[in-house]
Amino acid sequence: MTFKWPVRVYYEDTDSGGVVYYANYLKFMERARTEWLRSLGLEQDRLLDEFGVIFAVHSLALDYRAPARFNDALQVSVTPQNKGRASLGFRQQVLRDAGDNDRQLLLCEGQVKIACLDARTLRPRPIPDSVYAEITCED
């Protein structure tokens, strides 16, 4: 199931040409993944406090297709694809209304792999069972 989160482009997100700086798409995607977890009732601080785990980006690949500009209203999607016992894979897209017939223009698309880490050792560990159940029950 795809989760969608709205993001507004602020002046601070842009470069001197008024275009979103490339690295800020990663921030938009990170926020959307955090809100996806929150929508499942999973808060990052609770994962740390109760389970001693954190999620960290393991790898990613991005394709930039069109620029976003100051004050654009964007939509960032999160589509879980691969759910392993110690990692999660996502397809993410950043879209903007194209202005005709409710069509959206794809600005940036990425594949992101997240690893579950022990917060103390920063070594991979399985996603806690109750957290895994929440993540997988949304299918």
Q: Would residue 15 show up in a list of annotated catalytic residues for this protein?
A: yes
Active-site option among 15, 49, 97, 129: 15
Structure tokens at 126: 């399985």
Task: Determine how many CB atoms are found less than 10 A away from the CB of residue 25.
Answer: 23
Of 136, 116, 134, the residue nearest 48 (C-alpha): 116
Tell me what percent of the chain is helix, strand and coil, each rounded to the nearest 5: 25, 45, 30
**Residue 39: in which H helix or E strand, if any?**
helix 24-39
Contact (CB, 8 A) for 58 and 86:
no
Phi and psi at 28, nearest 5°, equal -60, -45
Structure tokens at 21: 């700086």
The catalytic site residues sit at 15
